[in-house]
Amino acid sequence: MAETPVAEHRPASAALAEAARVGLIAGALAFPVLALRAEPDFSNRLVLQPRWSWMLGAAVAGFAGRLLLSLLPPRRPKTAQAAQAKRASRRAAQAFAAFGLGLIFIWPLLVLLALGPGGALKWIDNYGVQILIYVMLGWGLNIVVGLAGLLDLGYVAFYAVGAYSYALLATNYGASFWICLPVAGCLAAFWGVLLGFPVLRLRGDYLAIVTLAFGEIIRIVLINFSALTNGDAGIASIPRATFFGLPFVPGPKGFDAFFGLPFSPIHRVVFLYYLILALALVTNLATLRLRRLPIGRAWEALREDEIACRSLGIDTTKTKLTAFALGAMFGGFAGAFFAARQGFVSPSSFNFTESATILAIVVLGGRGSQIGVAAAAIAIVGGSELLRELDFLKHVFGEDFDPTQYRMLLVGLAMVMMMNWRPRGFVSTREPSIFLGARKQIGGDFVKEGRG
């Protein structure tokens, strides 16, 4: 990155004056809100208690924030230097991606070495497996929303179909995870096509409403069809995934005894981590491959202009249905994995919030971008998990302060800021699927978002 001299844009005294002004305004604004607190006294009358330190804190925060902003380099005009910086930042992004992939591969081992089996469990399960499930779901939905441009608000329905397929097949027929996995995917794809047919003629808002309704229908059927699904109580004691037939149980028949290891529940979690990592990578590879095939190009062309597609002899019906089916299939795989990991499924795991989270991941990551979606899944799921670790704030605000109550507020605030800063998500550019000369990124301004 080219360095920018601070003096070039603003003298330090002006920055200080500006920061002082902002600090004063922040303090003044804080006076009625923070500095005065009304408390009932013994005779139940309200008396004002001054909290000058809070007001001072707000003023100092305003001052420091403004000063920091002025010290940051200003936006540079587009020049050759900027282009060079862009190339450098792309190289940095590639290096970062490679580093990230490496980290993802060794993550469980790293945590295990650092924290030991007891402490590592949370970090592999909540931060590893949980995030990777959402990465996979995000990649699956990316086919429908990002590539084909069909706004799907009911994606969680396919996740539910996959989970219940595995749960029912495994508990009723004792089928193994490895047989159920493709079956769950196929069933989800079947339901994807089934959803696809009625919504073929719908676009935009109407499509979103119908897919939303479909997601709810699946959930309500799961609740009410209690003869099959056991209703709200859900299905418990689903057989866990085995290591190619070796269960993760103590005793001579287990995985640990087979490999001569002492029994530890962490082995199962590490195995689950690598299993979902493999499933997610398969999803990613398949999507990247499909994008370069005629079917993938037809999806993207459909997002760009459906009428032009039809004038070129592309059957838009089939194209939409394949997008729905493939997206649903990956959702079904993830669902089967979810059931095998939890050992318990119930309709409450598949409510609209899940669909909204997955869609938020795709939109925040940048529709159509695989790496962006993965980063967004880490940011949203990992970030909201990380906010559970805010106990240190108790030292600042006192023991009565419950930081977990602010968790979703902070997530929401972060998303609003992100969408203001980068309305098209982390990665807004699109990489052409085929090129003649040099591979050039296509700016987000040209890429359409699809109208459903």
Partner 1 sequence: MLRVERLSMRFGGLLAVDGLSFDVRRGDITALIGPNGAGKTTVFNCITGFYKPTTGRIAMSAEGLADPDAIDALTRSSSRERNGIHLLERMPDHEIARHARVARTFQNIRLFAGMSALENLIVAQHRPLMRASIFSLAGLVGAPSFRAAENAAKQKAGDWLARINLLDRADDPAGALPYGDQRRLEIARAMCADPVLLCLDEPAAGLNPRESADLTALLRMIRDEFGVSLLLIEHDMSVVMEISDHIVVLDYGRKIADGTPAEIRADPSVIAAYLGVPDEEVDAVVQEALS
Point out which residues bind partner 1 (CB under 8 A).
286, 289-290, 292-295, 297-298, 300-301, 303-305, 307-316, 430, 432-440, 442-443, 445-448
Residue 348 to residue 352: CA distance in whole angstroms:
10
- What are the start-end ranges of the H helices in 145-265? 156-173, 177-199, 204-224, 226-229, 255-258
Across the chain, how many H-helices and E-strands are there?
A: 18, 2
Residue 351 or 433 having the CB closest to partner 1: 433
Minimum distance from residue 64 beta carbon to partner 1 (Å):
42
Minimum distance from residue 429 beta carbon to partner 1 (Å):
10
Minimum distance from residue 311 beta carbon to partner 1 (Å):
5
End-to-end CA distance of the chain: 40
Alpha carbon 368 to its chain's center = 14
Q: In whole angstroms, how large is the CA radius of gyration of the chain?
A: 26
Sign of the torsion angle spanned by Cα atoms 109, 114, 115, 120: negative
Token readout for 421 is 């800063």
Residue 67 or 295 having the CB closest to partner 1: 295
Nearest to 326 by CA among 367, 371, 366, 286: 286
Residue 77 to residue 100: CA distance in whole angstroms:
31
Amino acid letter for position 223: I
Residue 171 or 433 having the CB closest to partner 1: 433
Please give the backbone phi and psi of residue 422, each rounded to the nearest 5 degrees, phi first: -130, 85
Q: Which residues have a Cβ under 8 Å from the Cβ of 261 and sit 6 or more positions away?
A: 255, 267
Residue 142 or 211 having the CB closest to partner 1: 142
- C-alpha to C-alpha distances, 314 to 52, 61, 289, 298, 299, nearest whole angstrom: 69, 58, 20, 7, 10
Minimum distance from residue 210 beta carbon to partner 1 (Å):
23
Minimum distance from residue 364 beta carbon to partner 1 (Å):
19
String of DSSP letters for 113-163? HHHHHHHHHHHHIIIIIHHHHHHHHHHHHIIIIIIS----S-THHHHHHHH
Minimum distance from residue 302 beta carbon to partner 1 (Å):
9
Minimum distance from residue 293 beta carbon to partner 1 (Å):
4
Minimum distance from residue 317 beta carbon to partner 1 (Å):
9
Residue 1 or 438 having the CB closest to partner 1: 438
Minimum distance from residue 189 beta carbon to partner 1 (Å):
14
Residue 15 or 150 having the CB closest to partner 1: 150
Residue 16 to residue 419: CA distance in whole angstroms:
30
Residue 67 or 286 having the CB closest to partner 1: 286
Residue 221, burial from CB neighbour count under 10 angstroms (0-12, 13-18, 19+): middle
Residue 399 or 445 having the CB closest to partner 1: 445
